Amino acid sequence: MEFDARRVRDQLIRWIREWFEDNGPGCTAVVGVSGGKDSSVVAALCAEALGRERVLGVLMPNGTQADIHVSRKLVDFLKISWIEINIAEAYDGMMRAVSGAMPEVSEQTRINLAPRLRMAALYAAAQSANGRVANTCNLSEDWVGYATRYGDGAGDFSPLSQLTVQEVKALGRSLGLPEEFVEKTPIDGLCGMTDEEKLGFTYAELDRYIRTGACEDAVTRLRIDLLHAQNLFKLRPMPHFPLSEPDKSKY
C-alpha cells in the first residue's frame, strides 16, 4: 500500500494534540533540533498541533558543530522559540571523571555519553519550561538499534516511531519543509561517519525490508536481522523481578 503522507500528517497532528490534552494541557513541546529530517518533522508537527508558541527547540552542540547553522535555519523557518545549550563542558568533565575512575574507557562510552548528556539537557529545559520532551527516533533507526538507550532513544512521546525514513521524508514534504531539512545527510555527529556508512547498508534497503520483507542481498539481510535481534532490548520495558504472592497453604 502506498504511503499517504497527507493522511498520516493529519492523524499525527491530531494525536499530538490529544496526547498533550491528556498528559500536559498547556505544556510546551521540547524538541532537540539537529536540522535533520526527524527533528525537523517532529518540530513542524508539534507547531501545527500546538501552535508555534508552545514549541521550544533546543540546539545542543558539543563544542563546535560544523552544521549548527542548519539547526538555526530550521527554528527560524518554523518561527519557534529556541535555546542553545552547549554540552562541551559537561562532556569533558564527565569524561575526565570516568577516565580517572576506570582503568579503561571504551570507544562506545565516548560515543554514547554525548546523546545521554543531551537528553539530560532536554529534560532540564523541559522541567524549567513546563515542557514535555519529544522523542525523534524513527522506525528504521529503532529497528536496527541505531539510538542510544536513555539518550536519543528517550522521551515522553514519540511521533515517528512507527514510520520509516522514507515515510518521514514524505511527511516532511507534506508539511512544507524545504528539501535542505528533509534530505540532510543523516550523521550522528559522534563518530564522524554517516548513518549509512556505520550501518553498512542504505536506509532505502532497510525500509524496503521492513515494509515488504524483500532484500535480494543476503549479506545485507543477515546484517539487518542480526542488528534487529541484538537491539530489541532497547525497545522493551526494563526487565523486573516478578514478585509472587506467598503460598498461604504453607502457613
Check residue 118 and give its pLDDT: 98
Check residue 190 and give its pLDDT: 58
**Which residues, given as ranges, of the chain have pLDDT below 70?**
187-192, 250-251
Angle (CA) 98 232 167, round 5°: 105
Check residue 246 and give its pLDDT: 79
pLDDT of 49-77, one tens digit each? 999 999 999 999 999 998 999 999 999 99
Torsion 73-76-78-82 (CA) sign:
positive
pLDDT of 211-251, one tens digit each? 999 999 999 999 999 999 999 999 999 999 999 887 777 66
Q: For residue 209, is it within any domain?
A: no
Q: For residue 136, is it within any domain?
A: yes
Q: For residue 143, is it within any domain?
A: yes
Q: For residue 96, is it within any domain?
A: yes
Q: What is the pTM of this model?
A: 0.93
Number of structural domains in the chain = 1
The parent domain of residue 145 ranges over 5-185
What SS3 class is residue 43? helix
What SS3 class is residue 57? strand
- CATH number assigned to the domain comprising residue 95: 3.40.50.620
Q: For residue 196, is it within any domain?
A: no
Q: Which amino acid is at 197?
A: E
Q: For residue 212, is it within any domain?
A: no
What SS3 class is residue 55? strand
Cα 185 to Cα 67, 179, 189, 210, distances in angstroms: 11, 11, 11, 21
DSSP H or E run through 239: none
Q: Give the number of residues written for the chain.
A: 251
Check residue 193 and give its pLDDT: 76
Can you read off the three cell numbers belonging to residue 27?
505544556
Check residue 194 and give its pLDDT: 85
Can you read off the three cell numbers belonging to residue 202?
542504505
Check residue 245 and give its pLDDT: 82
Q: For residue 193, is it within any domain?
A: no
Cβ(51)–Cβ(27) below 8 Å: no
